[in-house]
Amino acid sequence: MSNVILEVNDLSTKYITRYEESVYAVDHVSLQVDETKSLGIAGESGCGKSTLALSLMGYYFPPLHYTNGEIIIDGRNISGMAPDDVRKSILGREIAYIPQAAMNALNPTRKIINFIEDVVQAHDMYVNKKEIYERARSLFETLGLPAEVLQKYPVELSGGMKQRTVIAISVILFPKVLIADEPSSALDVTSQKMVIKMLKQLLETGFISSLIFITHELPLLYNVTDDIMVMYAGQIVEKASAHDAVFDPLHPYARGLMGSIIVPEDGLRDVKLTAIPGVPPNLKDPPSGCRFAERCRYVRAECRGASVQLREVGRDRTYRCIIPEGELREIYEKEAEKYGR
C-alpha cells in the first residue's frame, strides 16, 4: 500500500473577468498522486491544464478564484488557508511549481545564487549565505549542473541550462510535489532530454516525492509518467495508465489526441494524421451535456442532454462518455477494419 502524497477532491476554480462573468476553468476535478509516482496531464491549449496546476497550489489571486473542493498534501488540508500562510509554509516546501516560460523568469541583473538565497530566506530567515551556497552547490552537483553556474548571470547560460537551473532552484527546499508545466516545450530535443532526465532523477533520488507533468506532447508523457489524465474543457475526460492512455484510449477525444502523435518510426508515413476539427467550447457558458459533443464523430442525441458522469472501468481507469465501454470498443474495431488500421 503506497502512501498518498497529493489528494484532490472535487476541486473547482473559476476566473472572474472584468465584466463580472465567471469562466469555470477547472470543473470538479478529483485526482490522487501516490509517493514516487508521476501523473501526466494532457490536452490541447485552452483546456484548463495550466489553470489546474495553479489551482493545485492553493494560492489564488485574482482573476482566479476558489469555488469548492479540497486539496490534501501529505495529510494536510490546504484549501481553506489564507494566501499568506500558503505562500510561507506551503509553496516551495510542500509543493513547487515550474511555470511555462520559467527560463524567462530570471532577472537578468542578478546572479543565480541570489535567486537561491531569496527562496531559502523567504522560508527560513536564519540561514547564512555560506550555508546556502554549500547546500546549493551540493544539489547542483548531484543534478549534473556545474557549480560555476551559481556565480553566473542568466544571460550567460543557454536555454536548456537555464531551464535546468530553474528546476534546481525550485527544489532547493525539497518539496513533496513538483508541478512542471510544459518545462521542455521551448527547448530543442537534446535539451529536452536533459530536462526529462533531471526530473526523473529528482524523483528517483527522493528530492521530490511525486511529479505532476503537464504537456501536449503525448510521446513525451508516455515516456515520463506512470499515469496520464486527459483534460477537456476543464474536466477530466479520461484517466488511465500511460500505456492504456496511448495504445487503448476509450474517450473519443483522447482517441483524437492519439491521432496526432508524430514519432520518427517506421510506418509513420503510411498513416494520415487526423486532427480533431473545431475548437474547445467557451467556458463562460459551457454546453449542458457532453462538452465534446460539438466535435465528436460518434455524437448521439442523448449526448446533449444532462451532464455526463465519469464511468469507472477496471482498476484506476475512468472515462467520461455516455457510450458504455463494450459498445465503444465495437465502434473503434469497426472503424479500424474500414480504414485498415
> What values do phi and psi take at 301, rounded to 5?
-65, -35
Cell of 26: 477547472
Q: Which is nearer to other proteins, 125 or 189 (CB)?
A: 189
Q: How far is the CB of 182 from other proteins (least distance, A)?
A: 10
Q: Which stretch binds other proteins (CB under 8 A): 63-71, 271-279, 281-289, 321-329?
A: 271-279
Q: Which is nearer to other proteins, 214 or 322 (CB)?
A: 214
Q: Does 274 bind other proteins (CB under 8 A)?
A: yes
Q: Which stretch binds other proteins (CB under 8 A): 130-138, 206-214, 215-223, 329-337?
A: 215-223
Q: Does 111 bind other proteins (CB under 8 A)?
A: no
Choose among 113, 87, 122: nearest CA to 168. Answer: 113
Q: Does 168 bind other proteins (CB under 8 A)?
A: no
Q: Does 8 bind other proteins (CB under 8 A)?
A: no
Q: How far is the CB of 163 from other proteins (least distance, A)?
A: 13
Q: Which long-range contacts (CB under 8 A, 24 or more apart) does 291-295 make?
A: 291/232, 291/233, 291/234, 291/235, 292/232, 292/233, 292/237, 292/251, 292/252, 292/253, 295/253, 295/256
Contact 158, 75 (CB under 8 A): no
Q: Does 155 bind other proteins (CB under 8 A)?
A: no
- DSSP annotation of 91 reads B
Contact 149, 157 (CB under 8 A): yes
Note the helical H segments in the chain.
49-56, 83-85, 112-123, 129-142, 159-170, 189-205, 218-224, 242-247, 252-258, 325-339
Q: Does 223 bind other proteins (CB under 8 A)?
A: yes
Helix (H, G, I), strand (E, B) or coil at 223: helix
Q: Which stretch binds other proteins (CB under 8 A): 17-25, 57-65, 121-129, 193-201?
A: 193-201
Cell of 222: 508516455
Q: What is the DSSP string of 316-336?
A: T-EE--SS-HHHHHHHHHHHH
- The residues pairing with 236 across neighbouring beta strands, listed in sequence order, are 231
Q: How far is the CB of 188 from other proteins (least distance, A)?
A: 4
Q: Which of 123, 137, 193, 311 binds other proteins (CB under 8 A)?
A: 193
Q: Which of 205, 260, 282, 288 binds other proteins (CB under 8 A)?
A: 260
Q: Does 44 bind other proteins (CB under 8 A)?
A: yes
Q: Which of 161, 172, 180, 290 binds other proteins (CB under 8 A)?
A: 161
> Beta strand 235-241 with 311-312: parallel, antiparallel or unpaired?
unpaired
Instruction: Kindly determine how many residues on this chain lie close enough to bind other proteins according to the rule CB under 8 A.
Output: 47
Q: Does 194 bind other proteins (CB under 8 A)?
A: yes
Cell of 9: 477532491
Q: Which of 59, 213, 222, 292 binds other proteins (CB under 8 A)?
A: 222
Q: Footprint of other proteins on residues 286-325 (CB under 8 A)?
A: none
Residues that bind other proteins (CB under 8 A): 44-46, 144-146, 159, 161, 187-194, 196-197, 200, 216-220, 222-223, 246-247, 256-257, 259-266, 268-269, 272-277, 279
